[in-house]
Chain A
């Protein structure tokens, strides 16, 4: 073969391979750098490169937003929904993981120059005093050329000729995608924030349990961080330019500092922190949330550097003077050049809250059927039930409704000294005939989680010939609710079926059937939620239906997420134990543990279980 032919063939092969790579990468575009593409998946692309993919997303969606939140990953936890409400705006969260203030400035300038902007919220994290103008993996951290002035040719070439496995990964992830958040699609493209639907649906309880789940908080790694002059000056200069540009454009600028976990704060020299915050106050007034009693409570943090969305809600409530939700007293200070000195001095005296000031221990008792004779499963005899109730009274326990627990957690409303919950599952007629009168007589209250489809079934299971333990009717339920002694909540409408009596495949609990599509399952559970709520509200006159006891105690992430989306934010399991509620941490209302009460539970045992109760 002549050299000329060889070269022609070589070039043709190289060009062909190059064109394949280029074409495939352009088509898949896993980093979201090209607007308009066949395989569009913004949440994946934002995960791969939030800096560029969000700007690309806004090119097509900027009309839907008029305000923006900017900053590093902790910025995600300032919920745009709350901001929208407080400022009557439409916010987009521009959070970029690993962002320094130069990234933030470049984003801000781009937004202010290209779009109509009403509000800009800038979040400063303490690490911004340590790093500035840092780049690591260029594909995941590259800012778009419109913001940096980088040559578009260099920028786009990098993504066109990148390792095509990035594109292949996107295709593979498409096959694995689920409704729940996974490591490859951590963003909610519509809000721009991290999609924390799974993390925000996990049940949280005692500190010990939290340490077990997140050992990092029990053994926080030792380290020390130094702020650097370059980073501090760079951050303050960037912020100054953002401030001036906002002034020029008439944009409302709100600067906040993110809550920092106390052990992480210990990495820093207090004097360096004070200097940084003092410098910040000279640039602009800001709300400082960095170090308060919140910093000492691990259950307010997702991990060592990220505070939870619920904390972001508290912070915004403080900024906008919303006293309808719980906010720790020392959380959030508006810092100005005038008070900055006093503020940084006061930071040194920050202390954790005493556990009794913001946490409660609430045992929950789970009864089912009451009969003349009990057993060691789910039936308790009337006499023992009465003995239990009398013991509670004598012991000074105050039974509550689930709503009371929610009020404690969400608004900080006080709880009685020894709070307990008395609950009944399934909705048996004995609850009406035996339990209700006893509770009324003793001045106690209880909650019945009833199954909608079997309400009023006295002889037979639904419309079958199979016998059933009698269930109370809606009329009877209405009577109980009207007395103020009983709250009726959900045990699902028809997702606790008795399989042997059902024709076809039974729904025995709220988990998806094996092989059932996610969409079908979520639709079924959502419809059931609507139906039971609607039925209880209409049939019994109950004020609100927001609590559910998982049938058979079974649940998983998808079930919990779907329940939350359908307004069930107080959920009960059958796991055994006392519950720790934390003010401002609504996840302590999820998956609440209950003690199963039957004939084997003596009064002494009951008193032992309710002993830790603390309001």
Chain B
């Protein structure tokens, strides 16, 4: 069920009304019911995977919780013994829970990619043999709910909190419907208490929720869906376009991706807020990033945080990395020897983030691109300091800041070639075309007007992006735009309701890809 469909709005509207009507102790049941409706309508039978994840996680965390309780209740002198006694069990359970989910995720999302990769080898070794392909339908939001659930298991393993003993309540944590499509990846201790809380109507929550949803729709419908028309037209047949048009399409893709993803997250967070639930922030003005590392702290924040807490730290603190650290410090003098293990862990993290996006060489390359740049910058950091000193660069100056932003956005821009091109090699070709055969006049000789958008659409996109940039800038410098608006007069606030609604209606509901009757029966 897409966020932009009427059934979704009806589901949200009905759920919100019922949520505040039903007895308070049933409110979480209503959320669960709404989540099941959402998933069954949107994902059909794949709802079984949600149950599977919830069941594996539930079982594992109950066992882990039991051992945690034993340890906690044991006399001080026995704690160590108990810890040692159950350590293998606990490790086995947490490993089993992670494997149960990640193996399934692998089969669902990555098996066919691996099979294609291995098939040539199989052809040589066993001629005629075919590696069977998975025909399973990829469940809606599988990467999100599985990562969220695995994070919960690891937290319980770390004894951060007690496990949830009610399976249905845990099922609600796994399947809370607003975040099933695009995340964010929430933490149990932050989300579960909010899901289970008993609430009365809070008009401010409702207002904030609606405002956030409208902002999300603005980004998604007015900006992203419009830019998508041009992006799709070019990327369906990139070979027919000049380098400058390809670059322009990738530039639009950057806008589309941000509008679509962050807009989707705003809708998610807005809907949750209508139930009084505050979901984790997932974007924080990524355009103002000063480095690629900073970008990943601002873009898809919850994924980065998940990787940091559940992969980077365990990896960096693991014994093999410890040994590697000792080895590099001993054999490589200076700072370089110290940062090699961290750099390697960083590289692995970004590599995994790349693959997380999908099973394709493009994403492998995307991970490599990010990992390589960030690792390089880590390794070269001491040199940068020297260069900056030599060039007398003032790190606090506005221009240096601007340079860093532009540089980061250029790096992100070229990274997008990789993720949007139909194939990795096409991405390489596209970059080559951008530099070798740009044919710049295509940007002003009317070529852009043949790519599915009208002049009006370009104007809407330009104004939309301008509004977006202003809002982002304000939030970066001063804080919440919403809070600022609330200090204004009622008239301004009325306008702040009407204008967005009319804009949403005219440029969002009335889509750029509208097919008029003239196009329905072209052949007559």
Contact = CB atoms under 8 A, between A and B. Distances in A.
Interface of A: 1-4, 6-7, 9-10, 13-14, 17, 30, 44, 47-48, 97, 137, 140, 157-158, 161, 163-166, 169-170, 173, 181, 183-184, 186, 194, 199, 303, 306
A13 B524 contact: no
Most B CB contacts (10 A, CB to CB) among A166, A199, A303 go to A166
Contact of A3 (B6, B203, B510, B511): B203
Nearest to B523: A303
B520 A137 contact: yes
Contact of B518 (A3, A164, A183): A183
Contact of A7 (B210, B498, B515, B521): B210
Interface in B338-355: none
Given A97-B521, A140-B520, A163 B203 contact: no
B203 A17 contact: no
A17 B490 contact: no
Most A CB contacts (10 A, CB to CB) among B206, B516, B520 go to B520
B517 A184 contact: yes
18 contacts: A1-B494, A3-B206, A6-B203, A6-B493, A7-B206, A7-B210, A10-B501, A13-B501, A47-B517, A47-B521, A164-B510, A165-B510, A169-B516, A169-B518, A181-B524, A183-B517, A183-B522, A194-B524
Nearest to A3: B203
Contact of B524 (A170, A173, A186): A186
Given A7-B203, A9-B494, A157 B6 contact: yes
A170 B6 CA distance: 23
Contacts of A137: 515, 520
B239 interface: no
List 7 tightest A-B contacts by C-beta distance, closest first. Answer: A3-B203, A3-B204, A3-B207, A1-B490, A4-B203, A184-B517, A1-B493
B496 to A, nearest CB: 9
A485 B522 CA distance: 49
A169 B524 contact: no
B255 interface: no
Q: What's the dominant secondary structure at chain B's contact region?
A: helix
B305 interface: no
B493 A163 contact: no
A493 to B, nearest CB: 34
For chain B, give the interface size range: 20 to 34
A170 B210 CA distance: 34
Contacts of A306: 523
Contacts of A173: 517
A17 B497 contact: no
Contacts of A199: 524
Interface in B485-519: 490, 493-494, 497-498, 501-502, 505, 509-511, 514-518
Interface string B293-327: 00000000000000000000000000000000000
A163 B511 contact: yes
A496 to B, nearest CB: 33
A170 B207 CA distance: 38
B514 A163 contact: yes
Contacts of A166: 516-517
B442 to A, nearest CB: 28
Contacts of B523: 303, 306
Given A2-B203, A163-B509, A163-B510, A13 B517 contact: no
A48 B520 contact: yes
Nearest to B522: A183
Contacts of A48: 517, 520
B517 A169 contact: yes
Given A97-B521, A157-B6, A165 B516 contact: yes
Contacts of B509: 163
A155 to B, nearest CB: 12
Contact of A183 (B206, B511, B514, B524): B524
A158 B210 CA distance: 23
Nearest to A170: B517
A1 B502 CA distance: 20
A30 B517 CA distance: 9
Given A6-B203, A184-B517, 20 more contacts: A3-B203, A3-B204, A3-B207, A7-B207, A9-B497, A10-B210, A13-B498, A13-B501, A14-B501, A47-B521, A137-B515, A157-B6, A163-B510, A170-B517, A173-B517, A181-B524, A186-B524, A194-B524, A199-B524, A306-B523
Nearest to A140: B520
A4 to B, nearest CB: 5
A13 to B, nearest CB: 5
Contact of A184 (B493, B494, B518): B518
Nearest to A158: B6
A303 B521 CA distance: 13
A13 B502 CA distance: 9
Interface string B70-82: 0000000000000
A6 B497 contact: yes
Contacts of A9: 494, 497
Interface in B183-214: 203-204, 206-207, 210
A374 B523 CA distance: 50
A236 B517 CA distance: 33
Most B CB contacts (10 A, CB to CB) among A140, A169, A183, A306 go to A183
A183 B493 contact: no
A158 B493 CA distance: 32
Nearest to B519: A183
Contacts of B521: 47, 97, 183, 186
Nearest to A166: B517
Contact of A10 (B497, B511, B516, B517): B497
A194 B498 CA distance: 45
Contacts of A158: 6
Contacts of A10: 207, 210, 497, 501
Contacts of B520: 47-48, 137, 140
Nearest to A44: B517
B522 A165 contact: no
A173 B505 CA distance: 23
Contacts of B516: 165-166, 169
Contacts of B493: 1, 6
Nearest to B494: A9
Interface in B91-147: none
Contacts of A164: 510
A509 to B, nearest CB: 28
Contacts of A7: 203, 206-207, 210
A173 B203 CA distance: 46
Contacts of B524: 181, 183, 186, 194, 199
A184 B515 CA distance: 13
A48 B505 CA distance: 23
A557 B493 CA distance: 58
B86 to A, nearest CB: 51
Contacts of B207: 3, 6-7, 10
Nearest to A302: B523
Nearest to A184: B517
Contacts of B498: 13
A234 to B, nearest CB: 20
A367 B509 CA distance: 65
Nearest to A198: B524
Contacts of A194: 524
A180 to B, nearest CB: 11
Nearest to B515: A137
Contacts of A161: 6
A446 to B, nearest CB: 40
Contacts of B514: 163, 165
B326 to A, nearest CB: 59
Contacts of A47: 517, 520-521
Most B CB contacts (10 A, CB to CB) among A163, A164, A194 go to A163
A442 B337 CA distance: 115
Most B CB contacts (10 A, CB to CB) among A7, A181, A303 go to A7
A6 B490 CA distance: 9
Contacts of B511: 163
B505 A17 contact: yes
